A = this chain, B = another copy of it.
Amino acid sequence: MPSEIRALFAMVARPEVVSLAGGAPYVSALPLDVVGDMIGDLVANRGAEALQYGSAQGDVVLRERICDVMALEGITASADDVVVTVGAQQALDLVTKIFVDPGDVVLAEAPSYVGALGTFASYQADVVHVPLDEGGLIPAALRETLDRLTREGRRVKFLYTVPNFQNPSGVTLTTARRAQILEICAAYDVLVIEDNPYGLLGFDGEPTRAMRADDSERVIYLGSFSKTIASGLRVGWALAPHAVRAKLVLAAESAVLCHPALSQVAVREYLTTQPWREQIKSFRELYRSRRDAMLDALDALMPDGCTWTRPGGGFFVWLTLPEGLDAKAMAPRAIAERVAYVPGTGFYADGGGRRNMRLSYCFPEPDRIREGVRRLAGVIESEIRMRDTFGGVRPGAASGGVHTPGPGVV
């Protein structure tokens, strides 16, 4: 986490601040009594398994349940090709460790998930951004970028993409573009890392078909129960082509020996005995009402010149400030007005995003969201007046290096 974001989060923890910054799911919406009984019984009756070392690849029945979950997005997979990881973050870390040598290029959307940028930086990858718009990553821009990098003789290891309700932009890659992107990556022989924590949290219709559903050889799919069950269990996974899967298991062993059995058997039991599809539906309704609260408030309150995305699912809205404003410089003033967001610069490896901010609606109640947007609109209006009076941007702190965020920025 860049130190200035760290400082910001310390302030955000104060109860009088409305935080539109965090990416934490609203786990209190789970039936905690039921889940508590379930986990308590597991330990009491099957503690010899739940409290013991497990295999490095992960529990086989859990991996079968994971295949059931992925089937909702059109994926046909064998449990043998799944590796259970400490959140999808660990899957991303291990994939990067396996594939990336210092100086290799990794392609990522502009903007991209800050935690991924931190991992890429930790292996000294050179992140090259590819722009996105309301329809997700732009295929023509991807092709141009690959053309240029090829001419320059650069080695591109993979494209990292969050196709559904992207973090931080909230946009979703269209179906047509998914096929185009797979085609382009095949032409340039580039792997695709499809990171999909939010795919089942769409507000309209059925889940979008995963890219992995149409290409089992080129796509490494990363999944997570952090947003559909509970983030504190840290159960994620990678579904990888067979040869990569073998390397992932060795890398996971070397990194943590094995995933916590307690978390694994809890998720396995939850998926086996609890109405998990209905619970996801109830999460969807919850987040939809919060998304509506945020968009309604933005529509009603934001000054002219601000624009924002209209997510069809997930947790995030991406807001662009009027020309001449700086979201990072403005952040301390927003905190002083008791509202917090994540400045856009954290989501770029190249200094971009100064006019952007990520607003999340996943955690606060709708009334708090409206109040947060009201405060934010006031801060932006005041910034616009300053700009109009003084004719420029007030200086902000210099852009920090790229680091993984704390869990608050997930």
Contacts and interface: CB of A to CB of B under 8 A. Distances in A.
Interface of A: 1, 24-25, 27-28, 30, 32-33, 35-37, 39-45, 47-56, 86-87, 89-90, 93, 97, 115, 118-119, 121-122, 226, 230-234, 250-251, 253-263, 266, 403-408, 410
A251 B121 CA distance: 11
A398 to B, nearest CB: 19
Contact of A407 (B44, B56, B251): B56
Contacts of A40: 36-37, 39-41, 43
This protein's copies in its complex: 2
A232 B258 CA distance: 9
Contact of A47 (B35, B234, B263): B35
A56 B87 CA distance: 13
B230 A51 contact: yes
Majority DSSP secondary structure for residues of A touching B? helix
27 contacts: A24-B53, A27-B47, A27-B51, A30-B47, A32-B43, A32-B45, A32-B47, A35-B43, A35-B44, A36-B44, A36-B47, A39-B262, A40-B41, A53-B226, A54-B407, A87-B257, A89-B255, A89-B256, A89-B257, A118-B254, A232-B262, A234-B258, A234-B261, A250-B404, A254-B404, A257-B407, A258-B406
Nearest to A36: B44
Contact of A253 (B51, B232, B406): B406
Contact of A257 (B44, B54, B115): B115
Nearest to A250: B403
A13 B42 CA distance: 22
Contact of A260 (B42, B234, B254, B404): B234
Interface-centre pick from A50, A232, A263, A407 (highest chain B CB count, 10 A) = A232
A73 to B, nearest CB: 23
Contacts of A403: 250, 253-254
Contacts of A260: 86, 232-234, 260, 262-263
Contacts of A405: 253
B232 A50 contact: yes
B257 A52 contact: no
Nearest to A253: B404
A410 B55 CA distance: 11
A147 to B, nearest CB: 31
B232 A54 contact: yes
